[in-house]
Amino acid sequence: MIFELKSPLLGFENITKMELKKIDDVFARLQVLDANEPSFTLINPFVLREYNFEIPTSIQELLEINDETNFLIYNMLIVASPLEESHVNFVGPLIFNTDNNTMLQIILADNSPYGVSEKLSNFLHKD
C-alpha cells in the first residue's frame, strides 16, 4: 500500500510518499517510491511486548483516526547479523491509517517507559 506522509520522517524531510509491504505478521518493509532512497525494516511491536501509548489528539485529527479507523503501528528495526542483535526503536512508532492511506511517525514523551534502541534478543523467548 502507498501512504502519504502527513509529517516528514526525521532525517528524511523530502519524502512525501512511501510504500508499506508486509512481509509477515512480524516484519514489514517501508520503501521510498524513488529506488535511490533507502528502505526501512519495520517490526510489529505487539509481538514483542506489551506496548501502549496514547496517540495525541492532534495526530488523530491529522491522520483522521477515530474509534472505527483501521490502523497499524510499527517500529523501525536496525537490522544486525545475527537478527537477535538487531535493535528496535520503541520511542518513534510509525502509525499507518489504512482507511485513508496516510502515515506519520510520532516521538513518545521523554518519560516513556520505552527505549530508543532496545536489543531484539531481550524480547525473544529461549526454550
pLDDT digits (tens, 9 = 90+) for 39-92: 899 999 999 999 999 999 999 999 999 999 999 999 999 999 998 899 999 999
In a domain, 13, yes or no: yes
Q: How confident is the model at residue 98 (pLDDT cuts 50, 70, 90)?
A: very high
Q: Tell whether 126 is covered by a domain.
A: no
For the entire predicted model, the pTM comes to 0.90
Does 4 score more than 70 pLDDT?
Answer: yes
Element (H, E) at 58: helix 57-63
Number of domains comprising the chain: 1
Residue from 12, 42, 44, 47 nearest 29 by CA: 42
Assess if residue 88 is contained within a domain.
yes
CATH number of the domain that 35 lies in?
2.30.290.10
Band (14; pLDDT cuts 50, 70, 90) = confident
Cis peptide before 82 (omega within 30 of 0): yes
Number of H helices, E strands in the chain: 1, 8
* Model pLDDT, residue 116: 85
In whole numbers, what is the pLDDT of the chain averaged over residues?
A: 90
Cell of 99: 482507511
